[in-house]
Structure 1
Amino acid sequence: MYIKQWAAALLLGAIVLGTASCAKDEPKKPETSIAIEDLAGTWNLSGATFSPETVTVGGTEYKVADHIFKAFIFGGLNATPSKVKIEDGKATLISVVGGAEKTFDLGLKDGKLSFQSFSLGSVVREGNQLKLEIAVENALLKRMPLDHFANSEAGVILKAIADQNLDLKIKATGTK
């Protein structure tokens, strides 16, 4: 009689051990947040990627990253931002040109970036990193007045992106 109980206990123990050893913990994803208190502070930006990377106009290929922040829509930053400062419902993009800081302010609400009444991307904290995305939809580019595209390489690039029915997307990662 005790043999059956021992056999059942051993079988149950083997099943429990087998299940426990086969179960793997899934890696935890970093917690995400769009709360202003989690985003607040100055973040150093790196790893900026641009989509599209290049555009061709009149047989000349332009690297978007080299010109796009000179465009009027970025308030004359003149270079890819190296920092973003977040406080009081505002995200300030900061680039350094010739030793001087240039800034461009965006509104920030619920993780969404905006300029005037236009949506321009998002920002979210993932663990100890900030994920910044600037997105200028093609529909917005097509609604811009033609004089915004005139007389600058940045304007020519924006017009080419609009004419090719592409969205402009810029992504960067921030660390404190």
Structure 2
Amino acid sequence: MGIIGSKLQPFSATSFKDGKFVDITEADALGKWAVWFFYPADFTFVCPTELEDLADSYADLQAMGVEVFAVSTDTHFSHKAWHDTSPAIGKIKYHMVGDQNHTLSLAFNNLRDGVGLADRGTFVTDPEGVLQLVEVTPEGVGRNAAELVRKIKAAKYWQEHPGQVCPAKWEEGSETLAPSIDLVGKI
């Protein structure tokens, strides 16, 4: 996986969500847009800032029909402990998936070689489980949830409006482009 157009592979894992341990499979992501938000490890430094930022956007994502799965190679037990002890992580309402067997990290081609930790990768699948967006940053560079929301809105718009594309910095309600020979060299 990890390549635009590839399909979500079968998996089973346990997440921590809403104070409970929840068994999940690929079926939990199908039929809706899904964010797979990989991060290196619990109890670290950049990760809680990103996860809190994403938690602040979770209601907006839910309103758009998007589910969020935060994934690290920690266990679901570690996720619960972190959720219970960190004010930033305590805000999280989305799935925190334990990937200690590296099933998802390997499926998304997002496991750091020789380290056993996931890279800081964001993958978005559509309701058919097809990968539509990919972003991977180095360990010291945090992501921006507002930009992720913008990109998902653009991807959804593009899928729902064949023949139209979203230019740079496109925001919902902005003009799109209709690629044609008439536009060649005019932009």
The normalised TM-score by structure 2 is 0.29
The normalised TM-score by structure 1 is 0.30
Bigger radius of gyration:
1
The structure in which a higher percent of residues are strand is 1
